[in-house]
Amino acid sequence: MVLWSLYIWTVATPGLRDRNNNLKGTDFLHFYTLGTLAIAHRGSDLYNMNAQAALSAQRVPEAAGIHYLPLYSPQLSIFVAPLAYLSYRWALALWWIGSASIYSACCYSVWRACQNLRGYGTTAFILALAYPAFFHLIAWGQTSALALACFALMFFLLRERKHFLAGLALGCLAFKPQLGLAAAIVFLSIGAWKILAGAAFSAAGQFLIGILYYSIEPFHRWISLMWNARGVWPLLEPKPYQTHSLRTFWSMLLPTVAPWGSISGLSFSLYILSAGVVLGLTIACWRNRAAPFPLRYSALLLASVLVSPHLTVYDLVILAPAFLLLADWLVVQPLTTPTRWLGTLLYFSYMLPLIGPFARWTHLQLSVIAMAGALYFIGQICSQTRSNARAAIIDADESRIVNT
């Protein structure tokens, strides 16, 4: 109630600027501009920051002076083009409604699949509405609801063992490829070739749409920008305290300049090392077929967040299924050390994004520690499940020998 009341009060102004003098919808302006470029077939300006700023000011005078770093692949502009036919005010309203509807549908569908949470419908609704990542999704006007839809759909398809279709859902993340990085590595490691084939087919189809619409040149420029993304991270992340991945965890924790020179290479090396550990834990969970599927999928979602090279607070909405799936599993488990810790860390993973801005002074993003800890205990539980399964097989063999 506090979060949403403050936000409604902030945006309840006559014009397109809120009480803090920020443009309403924030990042949605960038998508609105990309859609305008798509309508005009101006593929050459998809990665021209100055041209887009001029176009934004022309279409939305209140947006004068706002610049965005263009890093989205060309096909996204085609997807959002219909909104650019409307005024900014109406387009933003539809974007908000669409994002909230997608988020609600994903949470509801996953909750319906959680048999042990059927009696907690009101609690689940309140927690979904109060999730800090959902609040930021609406406030920033971002595209992360579409990423959540991809992960939610992939969950149901994998559960039904429709691996190629699940891959198609994974490939739809081509507009935010950093979120699909962990899943691609995990599925490659376990030899899930049908999933990888579906993902490649889906992603290639998206890229082909952009190439056919604009020609190959904008796609080449996008590839070049993505390849050199590390050089533009300061522009891409003007508020690093609002990021929640291992890369920014280490870059905030370690100073970029020390008396003996730059140690940014050290923070990046620690990111690669810790990301390898996270991926190793997740791969071990997925190779353990005896582990419950909801735990394995939740581990994949946590790894997707932690390993992502760029992840802002609104992208944490992809963890919504993990909260539901893990809660559904935990409420019927005996209280042991791993389950107790997992429940506690699940709570902190949900809440800590609220205090992310304090990392400006502490240089310690606690949410990353909580998510990494939750993944560790999922790994412990999956390992214990494997041991229990082996013990059950041994007991069955011994009983068979005795009976014989």
Evaluate if residue 230 carries a pLDDT over 80.
no
Mean pLDDT of the chain: 91
In the chain, % of residues over pLDDT 70: 93
Q: Measured between alpha carbons, how far is 216 from 210 in angstroms, rounded to an integer? A: 8
| pLDDT tens track for 155-206 | 999 999 999 999 999 999 999 999 999 999 999 999 999 999 999 999 999 9
> CB 261: neighbour CB atoms within 10 A?
8
Find where tokens 């607070």 sit: 313
Mean pLDDT, rounded, for 144-150:
97
| pLDDT tens track for 358-369 | 999 999 999 999
| pLDDT number for residue 386 | 66
| pLDDT number for residue 261 | 37
| pLDDT tens track for 128-145 | 999 999 999 999 999 999
Which of 166, 197, 151, 376 minimizes the C-alpha distance to 284? Answer: 376
Evaluate if residue 336 carries a pLDDT over 70.
yes
Structure-block tokens of residue 367 = 């949410």
Evaluate if residue 313 carries a pLDDT over 70.
yes
| pLDDT number for residue 388 | 59
Structure-block tokens of residue 240 = 């690093």
| pLDDT number for residue 260 | 36
| pLDDT tens track for 48-92 | 999 999 999 999 999 998 989 898 999 999 999 999 999 999 999
Evaluate if residue 262 carries a pLDDT over 60.
no
| pLDDT number for residue 54 | 95
**Residue 76 parent element (H or E):** helix 74-80
Q: Measured between alpha carbons, how far is 222 from 235 in angstroms, rounded to an integer? A: 16
| pLDDT number for residue 403 | 61
| pLDDT number for residue 392 | 45
Mean pLDDT, rounded, for 295-308:
98
Evaluate if residue 257 carries a pLDDT over 60.
no
Structure-block tokens of residue 375 = 């993944």
Evaluate if residue 259 carries a pLDDT over 60.
no
**Residue 365 parent element (H or E):** none
Q: Measured between alpha carbons, how far is 193 from 383 in angstroms, rounded to an integer? A: 24
**Residue 258 parent element (H or E):** strand 257-258
Give the pLDDT band (50/70/90) at residue 258.
very low
Evaluate if residue 307 carries a pLDDT over 80.
yes
| pLDDT number for residue 216 | 95
Structure-block tokens of residue 142 = 């971002």
Give the pLDDT band (50/70/90) at residue 238.
confident
Which of 332, 326, 321 minimizes the C-alpha distance to 116? Answer: 332
